[in-house]
Amino acid sequence: MARTTTAPTLQLNNGVTMPALGLGVFQSPPEETTAAVEAALRAGYRHIDTAAAYFNEREVGDAVRASGLDRSEVFLETKIWISDYGYDETLHGFEKSAGKLGVEQIDLLILHQALPSDFDRTLDAYRALETLLADGRVRAIGVSNFMVDHLTRLLDHASVVPAVNQIEQHPYFQQAEVQAFGERHGILAQAWSPIGGITFYRDSGHANALEDPVITEIASAHGKSPAQVMLRWGLQHGRSVIPKSTNPARIAENLDVFDFELSAEQLSALDGLETGKRGGPAPEDVTLETFGRDIPEA
Ligand code: A2P
């Protein structure tokens, strides 16, 4: 029988524990998501990261129920989309997500983006997260794609320090400054596109980190794959990582990263791959006009 791995946990700033590695379902088509999450739970994943704007929360919930695992064994993270920002709107956004997931309580609820052009609305949305936390509807709250100035403005107003900031982080785009700012304030960095942002890079003519000679050489030295090396690098930098895959073999491969360790030299060789080029959208460009989309009712 195949060996089942489970990820070690990280402690969030409010004491809640979260598996360090989870399955990301960004760009998992709804019709493939249930099978992918089921495969992940079978392989030993206990943390799934989705979002209202991925339009696959219902399928994530179906897979958790089909797994037979107790609800308390699976850490569910989802995100409120910018179109649902504002205090009342975000409270309702929670109801939509919880309804689709089919759960009473969400483990980690985060704001998907800052709205730099309407930051007051972002602050109102965050205030709603604080209410949901106080009411026990969510176990932890956080943000995503917040840069240092967004975090600074948020901390000026918030009564609860976000537990997590989920940002694009891989060897080609590391956001060390955002992570360091978070570390100083107790905000855990969580890496999306942790294996090279190739979801975006594929079509944009960027290099593919999976083929990078520095990464492939380190991978060979450990008898591991390039994806596993990048995940291990992120974990050894103290991040949570949420690789996306809908392929059962790659889902299992991505969890199998807890039996080797990168040396200090290997970590710094990977650190040296920074390009300064992000793969995803620039957080400053996110506006309701360009990125607004209706999030359906549960
Ligand atoms: P697939 O779903 O077919 O496995 P990221 O999370 O960094 O954005 O990467 C996601 C992309 O990388 C998806 O296109 C996914 O495709 C692919 N992928 C996921 N795991 C691996 C792996 N271990 N090796 C190669 N490609 C992978």
Domains and CATH numbers, the chain: 17-200+239-246 (3.20.20.100)
Percent of the chain surpassing pLDDT 70: 95
Burial class (CB in 10 A: 0-12, 13-18, 19+), 140: buried
Question: Ligand 1: which of 198, 215, 232, 246 to mutate, judged by most atoms within 8 Å of the beta carbon?
Answer: 198
Q: Answer with the residue of higher pLDDT: 207 or 115.
A: 115
Residue 243, ligand 1, Cβ within 6 A: yes
Residue 253, ligand 1, Cβ within 6 A: yes
The pLDDT value given to residue 200: 55
The pLDDT value given to residue 279: 85
The pLDDT value given to residue 298: 95
What is the rounded distance in angstroms from the CA atom of residue 287 to the CA atom of residue 277?
A: 21
Structure confidence by residue, pLDDT tens digits, 61-99? 999 999 999 999 999 999 999 999 999 999 999 999 999
Distance 219 CA to ligand 1 centre (A): 16
- CA distance to 153, 223, 265, per residue, from 256 (Å): 38, 12, 22
Q: What atom in ligand 1 is closest to the CA of residue 28?
A: 2
Residue 208, ligand 1, Cβ within 6 A: no
What is the rounded distance in angstroms from the CA atom of residue 264 to the CA atom of residue 112?
A: 33
The pLDDT value given to residue 201: 57
Question: Which among 78, 74, 120 is positioned nearest to 95, based on CA atoms?
Answer: 78
Residue with tokens 């943390």: 47
Helix (H, G, I), strand (E, B) or coil at 29: coil
Supply the pTM of this predicted model.
Answer: 0.96
- CA distance to 51, 155, 225, 262, 296, per residue, from 56 (Å): 8, 31, 29, 35, 11
Question: Which among 216, 181, 208 is positioned nearest to 275, based on CA atoms?
Answer: 208
Per the document, the length of the chain is 298
Structure confidence by residue, pLDDT tens digits, 231-240? 999 999 999 9
- Do residues 192 and 169 make contact, with C-beta atoms less than 8 angstroms apart? yes
In this prediction, residue 1 has a pLDDT band, given cuts at 50, 70 and 90, of very low
Distance 243 CA to ligand 1 centre (A): 7
- CA distance to 10, 74, 224, per residue, from 42 (Å): 21, 12, 21
- AA identity, residue 210: L
